[in-house]
A and B are shown apart, each in its own frame.
Chain A
């Protein structure tokens, strides 16, 4: 069976490996469709050998959801593809269900595990704000699945491919049309190597500006938890967690974050997690490689002073 892998955003090589690892349980012939800002360059992607061919469409400023969905459908029709595996991105959560509905295919998101149980495919996903895992048996020939960031990668042989450039399929009279953007892209969280997460503890201790100053100093992107979006301190675009983005930076510095699974589920695949919280028993500490217990209002000025003196 053939599978189409849809990847957008940064960290392409790693994401391709994760999505291909998921697809490999069900399919031994993969086709890659990248929707990326990197398409303009002579893009080369390291992929598992299962990936037979790749295409790349330029991801420009405005959302082109319908065109992306139509392009995926066109590739699938040409190649006779029945399985669609999407990466864990805001685009995927828009395009994938729309495609699944059109195809009347099975749809599942946040897939953390796939297994073949005596010929029956079972896909697992967290439910009820990560409190339980549901195992779903596939009963249909067509599947659209969004693979959770951090899906276990397999050690497989790899090759470098150069995806073929592709223009997105037009729509005639589109149901949605972009009239313009208000400002520049405000975050590149998924691509960031260093991310600082600001939680309600930062807001409560009045240390948001200090947290942002630290982010500028160490050139980190800023993520936030749900309460800061609800208080409109930061835009939803920076929300990390169950209904926000999942990220896997090399270093994640959690400031004033208690560690609800709603948020933690979005950073579990980070390389190293450091947390600073005034509560010794905060759940985030058990998911951290390092933690420090202290009041951010006192900790952050000292931290900034130390790091500034070091960089000077």
Chain B
């Protein structure tokens, strides 16, 4: 395994932007680079070849060392989580980085499970809800996580981790950053879908949320009475 950080970045092809959560994931990776001195490779799986240069510029402008764009052939959009996980697994193996960073609900279209699924496939250590990485040595990462309470965890390298995105707001990008980014070339790879999907998206529809009566209260006294009554256990 190599001393490097691999960060998975979801590029929203229809909107031509990096998923907002993954901007935080990149920011987290930059903090990790400050701690370790390891280089950052940001990898993005896309299906439209014409977007390669644009995606590359967007990624490089965020201050990573290398952009790796994986053109996925033969995929139906949106990809099954299982298929995404298989490609991600191969990308992790190819780069061989000791630390692999995912967003919580970005790369897998809101499933919140891609990172864990890949960790399960690779039998790799998996940390989520990571607030801060305290130290990294040859064999271990020590980090604080936010599960029930703030807890210090030691995880064996290599590992997959998911940071608390809200704690890492993205840095602004200048025009100069964009221009510099344009000069850099991405490492381009291709991935073929060879596995059978486990689930198939069959339809999309608008949700129907049950709205409530919404009785307007006309005074603070009335509000206080309602709160006192309900907190006391009355209907």
Residues in A lying within 8 Å of B, measured CB to CB:
61-63, 65, 90-91, 93-94, 96-110, 122-123, 125-140, 175-186, 194, 218, 220, 226, 229-230, 232, 235-237, 239, 242-243, 250-251, 253, 261, 264, 268, 272-274, 276, 285-294, 299, 302-303, 306-307, 310
- Contact across chains for A236 and B146 when beta carbons are under 8 A apart: yes
10 new A-B pairs (CB below 8 Å) besides A100-B117, A176-B126? A98-B126, A106-B199, A126-B207, A131-B207, A134-B204, A179-B142, A229-B167, A230-B169, A261-B209, A289-B215
- Contact across chains for A229 and B214 when beta carbons are under 8 A apart: no
Contact size class for B? 35 or more
Give the top 5 A-B pairs by smallest Cβ distance, nearest first: A101-B120, A97-B116, A97-B113, A175-B125, A106-B198
- Contact across chains for B124 and A140 when beta carbons are under 8 A apart: no
Asked whether B52 is an interface residue with its Cβ less than 8 Å from the other chain, the reply is no
- With A97-B113, A273-B212, A286-B212 as given contacts, are A307 and B228 in contact (CB-CB < 8 Å)? yes
Q: How many A-B residue pairs have CB under 8 A?
A: 263
* Per-residue A-contact encoding for B166-180, CB less than 8 Å = 1, 0 else: 110100000000000
Closest to B121 in A: A101
Asked whether B201 is an interface residue with its Cβ less than 8 Å from the other chain, the reply is yes
Q: Is the interface of A mostly helix, strand, loop or mixed?
A: mixed
- With A101-B121, A243-B104 as given contacts, are A303 and B217 in contact (CB-CB < 8 Å)? no
- Contact across chains for A290 and B215 when beta carbons are under 8 A apart: yes
Interface-forming stretch among B29-37, B54-62, B148-156, B184-192? B148-156
Query: A235–B146 Cα gap in the complex (Å)?
Result: 8
Interface-forming stretch among B40-48, B90-98, B127-135? B127-135
- Contact across chains for B223 and A299 when beta carbons are under 8 A apart: yes
**B166 contact set on A, CB distance < 8 A:** 226, 229-230, 236, 239
Q: How far, in Å, is A92 (CB) from chain B's closest CB?
A: 10
- With A94-B128, A268-B209, A288-B212 as given contacts, are A132 and B204 in contact (CB-CB < 8 Å)? yes
**A140 contact set on B, CB distance < 8 A:** 198-199
**A94 contact set on B, CB distance < 8 A:** 116, 126, 128-129, 147
